[in-house]
Each structure stands twice: as structure tokens, then as C-alpha cells.
């Protein structure tokens, strides 16, 4: 039996795409007969406090799993200071390196997921330490995404990250990406081109796919409200929906959430309901009770390569999507006819599309079915794990 080590900063019970991705990979590899160990942190995303609630620890098998090792980190995570966050990431990497050195084992394959880029360094060390093959899972492009959010442009640090990035790509035996948009960028850094790059998107499990009917027309935004998301669009949208007496539910977290709450309070937008972050199961249940899902990203080139996890989640729940996005995300929404996209990132366009969906139940049903069908076809974890199995068995 091949022994596999997964190194990931994010893991169950953390909410968000990263933790859910690595949880599914772990569970499916175990189901396929692999001996898998996970090295991760205590759950802290988006903050430590929410995991004091037992509802997040809803998988008894994982709670009792003796192959999941969690390191403790003292630094504060996800502060508004990006420097503090980088220090946090560095501490995680150092403690993971220490754990690997102190706890010797035998692994034939290492799966390491990045960002943060420092975890990639841990993977490179583990590859040499265990004399194993390294599979590098890329969920976002560092340092490109750091530049994209516009708050970190230190040329020395960016240059250092570029060096680390090139070393990671070149020394990994295989590279996995969760967005096809990453492939041209990464292949341009490799002598081998696209040969060692495999696309394995985020997705859903069979039991998660479905839709519900709700007579009350409501709109939802579920997910991160951070530096990459265009919160100005959400603010304008909330105001326009209020004038139309359309409810907006926000299950959000992130650096810009407080600003959005303050805006809604200042303008007395009583149509907006803020819900605290909850489990994936509960979040999907709430999402499926709405009729439109909103997605927005800042209009930067780096984000044109990204397929936000919430798009897949909205399709999983069978609700049409209205987006202020471009690139890969826009292509998916329009090509699969699961929603509408504003060409000009204009809130007036978004409102027009929401009104269109509201006034056309048949169109809403068609988009709902298209979304469910597309997830079954291209975003099903039980199927998409196969390329990784092939890599591990090669």
C-alpha cells in the first residue's frame, strides 16, 4: 500500500474552498485504498473562535482519525495587516518543518497545496527528507494574487516569491491546478510546458447536488468578502435590491465584511440579512433556498484565471448566477448557461439580470438544471479524483 502525506494549512473542519478540497481528497484517497496522513494546523480560518462550536466538527470519523496531525500556531491569523499574515504563514511553515524532522516516517508520495507559498517550501523539504515524489497542488497564483489585491508590492519580497515559485514548479514531479486559467501561466515557467500539469477543479460530492423551490424570491452572496472581492458592487447591489423589496442574504467572512455591515446599517438596508459562517452542509442548504447567487471579483488580470468556489457551489445548489467577473469565471457562467455576467461590472446590469430571472420562472428552472447537470459532468469529486489516483499509482 502506497503511503501518502498531505501537507495543507487548511483542512477539515475549516470552512472555505481550500479546507473542503483537501478534506475530499483525503477521504477519497482513503476510500481508494491509500494509506494517507495529513499534516495541518488547528482550524483558524476565518478565525479560531467559530470552531469552539461543536457543529463544525460534524464528521466523527475525521474527529477520531489518528492520521491527522495538527500543529499549534501562536500568531494571529487574517489580520488586516498583510505583513502579519505573512508572518503567520511563515510560522506555520517553520512548525511544520519541525514536526517533519521530529516525526520520521516513510512516504512514497507527498501532496502539498499552495498558497500560502511557504507551505510549498515545506513540501520541497519533505520530498527530499522522505525521498518521495512531490505533487504540488496550486489553488491560487502567488505572488500574482498578492499584487492583484493591490496592498502588497514590496519589490524585494515579490522577487523572492518569484524565485520560490519557480523552484516549486520546477522541482515538483507533478503539478495539479484547480483552474484551467492557471495552466498557461505555470507552463510558461516550466521547461516541460504543460506535460506535468493536471487539472482537478474544486467540486461537489454526489450527495450535495440538488435544488429546492422557494416561493419568496431572494438573492444570496456566500463566501469570502476579502481583498479580491469587489465589495463596492455588493454595497450598491444591496441598495438597489432594497428599493425593489428583494431580500439579500450574506453568509460572509473576510476583511471587508465589517465595512459592508456598516454600509447596510448606515443606509438602513433592512432587506439585508447577515448570517455567521456555518458548516458546508448548512451553507449549501441555505443557498439552495434562494433564487440567485451573486459572485464578484476585482477587475484585475490575475483574477481572470480564477474560478471562484462559490460558482460551483451555486450550481451545486441549482440556483442561477449573476456575476461581476471576467476570464474563466465569465466563460463558465455564459458557456454553460447557468446565469448572466455584467460586461462592464455595472450594478445596473446585475439588477437587470436579477429582474430578468425574477420575471421568468422557466428561465430560472432551466439555469438551475443546467447548473446541476454541469456539476455532475465536470465537478464531481468522485470522478475528478481519478487523475490524482493515476498520478499516485504511476
pLDDT in tens, 189-232: 988 778 899 999 999 999 999 987 777 899 999 999 988 888 89
CB 12 within 8 A of CB 42: no
Residue 389 confidence (pLDDT): 98
Model pTM score: 0.95
Give the per-residue pLDDT at 150: 66
State pLDDT tens for residues 292-312.
999 999 888 888 999 999 999
Is 77's pLDDT higher than 70?
Answer: no
Map out the domains of the chain with their CATH numbers: 3-203+380-393 (3.40.50.2000), 206-378 (3.40.50.2000)
Q: Band of the pLDDT at 388, cuts 50, 70, 90?
A: very high
Q: Residue range 109-130: average pLDDT?
A: 97
- For the cut 60, the answer to whether the pLDDT of residue 78 exceeds it is no
CA–CA gap between residue 202 and residue 186 (Å, rounded): 18
pLDDT at 226: 84
Contact (Cβ atoms closer than 8 angstroms) between residue 56 and residue 276: no
- What are all long-range contacts of 160-164, with beta carbons under 8 Å and residues at least 24 apart? 161/117, 164/117, 164/120, 164/121
CA 377-378-380 angle, 5° bins: 85
User: How does pLDDT run across 317-367, given as a tens digit for each residue?
Assistant: 999 999 999 999 999 999 999 999 997 889 999 999 999 999 999 999 999
Residue 316: the pLDDT is 98
CA–CA distances in Å: residue 253 to residues 42, 74, 109, 112, 226: 19, 22, 34, 25, 8
Burial of 378 (0-12, 13-18, 19+ CB in 10 A): middle
Cell numbers representing residue 326 in the block: 471576467
What pLDDT is recorded for position 168? 96
Asked if 161 contacts 113 with a C-beta cutoff of 8 angstroms, the reply is no
Say whether pLDDT at 79 is over 60.
no
Confidence (pLDDT) at 273: 98
The CA distance from 167 to 155, in Å, is 18
Q: pLDDT (tens digit, 9 = 90+) per residue, 245-289?
A: 999 999 989 888 999 999 999 999 999 999 999 999 999 999 999
pLDDT of residue 26: 99
Amino acid at each position: 500500500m502506497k503511503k501518502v502525506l498531505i501537507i495543507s494549512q487548511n483542512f477539515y473542519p475549516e470552512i472555505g474552498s481550500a479546507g473542503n478540497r483537501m478534506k475530499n481528497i483525503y477521504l477519497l484517497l482513503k476510500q481508494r485504498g491509500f494509506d494517507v496522513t495529513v499534516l495541518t494546523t488547528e482550524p483558524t480560518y476565518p478565525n479560531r473562535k467559530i470552531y469552539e462550536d461543536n457543529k463544525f466538527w460534524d464528521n466523527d470519523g475525521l474527529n477520531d482519525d489518528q492520521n491527522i496531525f495538527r500543529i499549534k500556531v501562536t500568531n494571529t491569523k487574517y489580520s488586516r495587516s498583510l505583513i502579519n499574515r505573512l508572518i503567520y504563514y511563515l510560522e506555520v511553515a517553520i512548525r511544520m518543518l519541525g514536526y517533519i524532522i521530529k516525526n520520521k516516517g516513510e512516504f512514497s508520495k507527498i501532496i502539498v497545496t499552495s498558497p500560502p507559498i511557504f507551505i510549498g517550501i515545506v513540501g520541497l523539504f519533505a520530498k527530499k527528507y522522505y525521498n518521495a515524489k512531490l505533487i504540488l497542488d496550486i489553488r491560487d497564483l502567488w505572488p500574482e494574487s498578492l499584487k492583484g489585491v493591490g496592498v502588497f508590492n514590496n519589490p524585494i519580497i515579490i522577487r523572492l516569491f518569484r524565485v520560490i515559485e519557480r523552484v516549486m514548479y520546477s522541482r515538483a514531479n507533478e503539478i495539479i491546478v484547480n483552474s484551467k486559467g492557471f495552466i498557461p501561466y505555470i507552463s510558461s515557467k516550466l521547461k516541460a510546458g504543460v506535460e506535468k500539469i493536471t487539472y482537478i477543479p474544486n467540486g461537489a460530492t454526489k450527495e450535495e447536488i440538488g435544488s429546492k423551490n422557494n416561493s419568496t424570491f431572494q438573492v444570496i452572496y456566500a463566501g469570502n468578502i476579502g481583498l479580491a472581492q469587489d465589495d463596492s458592487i455588493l454595497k450598491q447591489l444591496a441598495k438597489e435590491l432594497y428599493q425593489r423589496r428583494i431580500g439579500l442574504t450574506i453568509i460572509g467572512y473576510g476583511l471587508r465584511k465589517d465595512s459592508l455591515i456598516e454600509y447596510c446599517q448606515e443606509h438602513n438596508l433592512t432587506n439585508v440579512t447577515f448570517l455567521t459562517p456555518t458548516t458546508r452542509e448548512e451553507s449549501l442548504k441555505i443557498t439552495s433556498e434562494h433564487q440567485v447567487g451573486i459572485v464578484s471579483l476585482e477587475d484585475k488580470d490575475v483574477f481572470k484565471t480564477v474560478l471562484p468556489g462559490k460558482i460551483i457551489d451555486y450550481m451545486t445548489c441549482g440556483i442561477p448566477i449573476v456575476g461581476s467577473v471576467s476570464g474563466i469565471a465569465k466563460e463558465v457562467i455564459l458557456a454553460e448557461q447557468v446565469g448572466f455576467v455584467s460586461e462592464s461590472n455595472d450594478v445596473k446590469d446585475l439588477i437587470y439580470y436579477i429582474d430578468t430571472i425574477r420575471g421568468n420562472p422557466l428561465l430560472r428552472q432551466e439555469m438551475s438544471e443546467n447548473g446541476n447537470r454541469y456539476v455532475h459532468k465536470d465537478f464531481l469529486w468522485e470522478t475528478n479524483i481519478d487523475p490524482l489516483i493515476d498520478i499516485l499509482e504511476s
